[in-house]
Amino acid sequence: MTEQLAADCPGAPGRVAPQIDRNRCEAKGPCVEVCPFNVLEIRSLDASDRESLSWRGRIKAWAHGNRQAHVIRPADCRACQLCVNACPEAAIRLVPYVPA
């Protein structure tokens, strides 16, 4: 994490979390690269993720190796929107964080 990126995220953690639109994500990774708090990672889709995709989303996922961004540390998000702005597919939005 770079100090400059962390400084761009002055919000308190645990208020919002990224939500990934599975039908849009192409696993290109800029969202993961810009997040100074390691909230996201690129990993393989599991069976339930694939089943929830639209027909077009399944084709898109297949074309990109059935890998997508996943939120792994939602409570660490600081609402800076760096991931939202970095996503070339506009597949990320911030939503209120609700602990699991």
Looking at residue 30, its amino acid is: P
pLDDT tens-digit map of 12-35: 899 999 999 999 999 999 999 999
pTM above 0.85, yes or no: yes
Predicted confidence at residue 89, as pLDDT, reads 96
Domains plus CATH for the chain? 3-96 (3.30.70.20)
pLDDT tens-digit map of 34-92: 999 999 999 999 999 999 999 999 999 999 999 999 999 999 999 999 999 999 999 99
90 and 17 Cβ atoms separated by less than 8 Å: no
Secondary structure of the chain: what % helix, strand, coil (to 5)?
30, 20, 50
